[in-house]
Structure 1
Amino acid sequence: YFSFYDVSEKIGIVIGMSIYGVIDQITGSMRNALVFLGLFFLIGLILLFRVPKKFVQ
């Protein structure tokens, strides 16, 4: 499982930096890229809260 985590982390880094660069180039402002970065974190947090919780009894 750790190798899957490592590969998905590296893919996430590449995708995130690419999107950051594209938004920076399109808008010409790093502020807009940071707004999208915050939006991605918010979407990730919402998806994380949707994961079912397992209670051990």
Structure 2
Amino acid sequence: MKTNTLSKASRVAKDKKSNPQEIDELWLTIENTPEDRIEILRKMEKLQLSITETKMKLKH
């Protein structure tokens, strides 16, 4: 995954005056290889697990 492209996308997304079409075009330029998708899924799973653990701690 190209980090510089992602940070650029983050900056554009944060800019409230940005044209939504520009953001869409920018996301299309990010290389999204199968390895990237697997990495993203792993990170999402870890985050979900973290959220679940936090909720459990808050309940007790």
**Bigger relative CO (Cα 8 Å, ≥ 6 apart):** 2
TM-score interval, smaller chain: 0.3 to 0.5
TM-score, normalization: structure 1?
0.46
